[in-house]
Amino acid sequence: MGGKQDENEAYGKSAKYDPSFRGPIKNRGCTDIICCVLFLLFILGYIVVGIVAWVYGDPRQVLYPRNSTGAYCGMGENQNKPYVLYFNIFNCIVATNIISIAQNGLQCPTPQVCVSSCPEAPWAVDGSQFSKTVGEVFKENKNFCLPEVPPDMNVMKSLEQELCPSFLLPSAPALGRCFPSPNINFTLPGYEWINNTAVSKGISGLLDSINARDVSVKIFEDFAQSWYWILVALGVALVLSLLFILLLRLVAAPLVLLLIVGVLAVLAYGIYHCWQQYQTLRDKGASITQLGFTTNLSAYQSVQETWLAALIVLAVLEGILLLMLIFLRQRIRIAIALLKEASRAVGQMMSTMFYPLVTFVLLVICIGYWAMTALYLATSGQPQYIYRVPNPSAPGCEDVPVNKSCDPMDQSKNFSSCPGLTCAFQGYSSTGLAQRSLFNLQIYGVLGLFWTVNWVLALGQCVLAGAFASFYWAFRKPQDVPTFPLGSAFIRTLRYHTGSLAFGALILTLVQIARIILEYIDHKLRGSQNPVARCIICCFKCCLWCLEKFIKFLNRNAYIMIAIYGKNFCVSAKNAFMLLMRNVVRVVVLDKVTDLLLFFGKLLVVGGVGVLSFFFFSGRIKGLGKDFENPHLNYYWLPIMTSIMGAYVIASGFFSVFGMCVDTLFLCFLEDLERNDGSQERPYYMPKSLLKILGKKNKTPSEGKRKK
């Protein structure tokens, strides 16, 4: 007796009966105030970072191309000129490689001008036109010259100063720039070197025969043609998720039994297959002694010892599951009863099923704010201009400070004697307060992203736990259930427990940040041949992954205790952990049964929507009539993938509510067993199905009188 008592007290004392307890405590105070203040100050700093990014950032540089002066094409005075034309794109190829050009915003040492459309026909300045004026020669192609070129300028002078292009090639818009087609089948007088081979070698890697603008247009066309059918597919996913949860009240026991038998059958087939392979290889004499040691793991499939080891492992798993099924059948029945009760709770509080929409909106706000802040920070800085000249050794260019900064609006030093001199856009400066602190601000933003996202998820768990706890601790259901349990839980959580949620979210955030840093280090060391370092990194990654899973599990149960009793995070986490450790076998059984059931539900919803979408959008379903005819699409897989991803998000949202309901009811059930004994003064709050499985019952008033 003493040993048993010590063992129970090792995980804390059982919960005591409290005659005033009737569910989630209403008279509570604020918890973890210091962490709440810290979280609010962090959010205030996060807002300041966003303001700094908005003031200094310029996201247009990744959305719009620029000409030689740094002006954006497609907006402002160039609103009707969305494309950039390179006077001589071959200069880009000579100057640097294609990857460097792309990393520098596709800037290269040749004049660039904004144009309304790319050249459609080949054209070149003839030798007899050098003495004419720009207005005469570029009569039809004047839009391809720089805007400041006067019409009466000599053509030869305009070409020397690179104010007008000497030739034009048929081009197509890609990434907002005009790139010549790799297939050239014409010859320009004086430019015979421009041929199929030259163009293909120069820009085929950059363009890669893909017109990104056309692809994006086709994608938008497909969405415009199929958006209502995608909504129908998402509606089907919604209905299937609701039906699966509501029908669990009727078919939970057969479904769980079917899933368990299915797992046993899969393992049995695995044992049979391994035995067949082992017999075949044994008859052939294929042994590991003949193979020896090799790093080619696939070679081990051809030896008998591999299949024998797999057979033994599967047989052991099969035996363990059979023994668990025999000796833990009572706890499996409890898990099934809790699943039925969770389905009943969700059915009577349908508003909880749509709470994931609130979480989704808050997550979109958090992720969107971080994305915009990161984009503005990455594009912060003032535009820088430098002197650029095609031939620095030409007469009149000796005193030009090539590659030195200049002001395109300052005409005091124009060096007009140097042919081709321009004050060209170089890039954005990396100096200044925001630019010097750019890395730190981005790190602050990443930390803000993880902390706010984890806080939003914690808020949803705590709110749902408060609502479902109100259902369990109502003695007469649904009469004693509060009128607005979800709204009351939401207000109560925000008012009293913002700090506790921030505390739990911060712990999880630090672990996730550590995992990201470790992944970055592993990526940098991937080329290293040091197996010891790789092994250590792998062990650390595994430990951090396990730690993150444990913290998520602990936080989830701590939030349930916070929602019920209103204690701070540490006390709630301790009480939840001790309560679960006092019932560890029940925890494992319920957790695995619930995970298996919800996995099957997600598979059913996502798989069903995916199959229906595939047959519909690919045109394999015939005879539906004109109103239900599949749309004609460029990429029929696009709405299919969108429907599958949307179905997964919907199923995950609904089943996360159901999983939270099961966990909350389970903790309440364990507390109910410790607090109450079934007497009139201390009746059980659990449903009759659980009382029957446990062999317990609540005494009626007549039974109480007979006992007296």
DSSP string spanning 371-402?
HHHHHHHHT-S-EEEEEE-S-TTSTT-TT--T
- Please check whether residue 24 lies inside any domain of the structure: no
pLDDT per position as a tens digit, 625-656? 555 566 666 667 778 888 888 888 888 888 88
Radius of gyration (C-alpha) of the chain in whole angstroms? 35
Q: In the 8-state DSSP scheme, what is residue 191?
A: B
Res. 205 pLDDT band, cuts 50 70 90 = very low
Q: Which residues contact 548 (CB under 8 A, 6 or more apart)?
A: 508, 511, 512, 515
pLDDT of residue 510: 94
Domain boundary among 371, 405, 428: 428
- Please check whether residue 401 lies inside any domain of the structure: yes
Mean of pLDDT values over 80-102 = 61
Q: Is the pLDDT of residue 590 over 50?
A: yes
pLDDT of residue 67: 76
- Please check whether residue 94 lies inside any domain of the structure: yes
Q: Are 343 and 252 within 8 A, CB to CB?
A: yes
Q: Is the pLDDT of residue 238 over 70?
A: yes
Q: Is the pLDDT of residue 528 over 70?
A: no
Report the percentage of the chain scoring pLDDT > 90: 16
- Please check whether residue 123 lies inside any domain of the structure: yes
Q: Which residue has the tokens 């921030």?
A: 502
Whole-model pTM above 0.75? no
pLDDT of residue 298: 59
Q: Is the pLDDT of residue 241 over 70?
A: yes
Q: Which residues contact 588 (CB under 8 A, 6 or more apart)?
A: none
User: Hey, is 287 helix, strand or coil?
Assistant: coil
Longest C-alpha distance within the chain, in Å? 124
Range of the domain at 107: 65-175
Q: Is the pLDDT of residue 492 over 50?
A: yes
| 133 C-beta neighbours (distance < 10 Å), count | 17
The phi-psi region of residue 566 (left if phi > 0; otherwise alpha if psi is between -120 and 50; otherwise beta) is left
Total count of residues recorded for the chain: 708
Q: In the 8-state DSSP scheme, what is residue 413?
A: -
- Please check whether residue 21 lies inside any domain of the structure: no
Which of the pair, 705 or 409, is modelled with greater confidence?
409
Domain boundary among 365, 396, 428: 428
Displacement of CA 623 from its chain's centroid (Å): 39
Which of 97, 98, 71, 100 lies closest to 84 in space, CA to CA? Answer: 71
Q: How far, in Å, are 171, 375, 441 from residue 44 at the CA level?
A: 50, 19, 14
Q: Which residues contact 68 (CB under 8 A, 6 or more apart)?
A: 111, 112, 113, 146, 422, 424, 425
Q: Are 110 and 134 within 8 A, CB to CB?
A: no
Q: Which residue has the tokens 């539900």?
A: 601
pLDDT of residue 199: 53
Q: For residue 373, which amino acid is it? A: T
602-605 CB contacts, 8 Å cutoff, 24+ apart? 602/648, 602/651, 602/652, 602/655, 604/240, 604/244, 605/237, 605/240, 605/241, 605/244, 605/647, 605/650, 605/651
- Please check whether residue 75 lies inside any domain of the structure: yes
pLDDT of residue 428: 58
Number of domains within the chain: 2
- Please check whether residue 597 lies inside any domain of the structure: no
- Residues 594 and 234: their CA atoms lie apart, in Å, by 24
Mean of pLDDT values over 108-112 = 72
- Please check whether residue 93 lies inside any domain of the structure: yes
Domain boundary among 140, 159, 175: 175
Q: Which residue has the tokens 């560890």?
A: 584
Q: Is the pLDDT of residue 228 over 80?
A: no
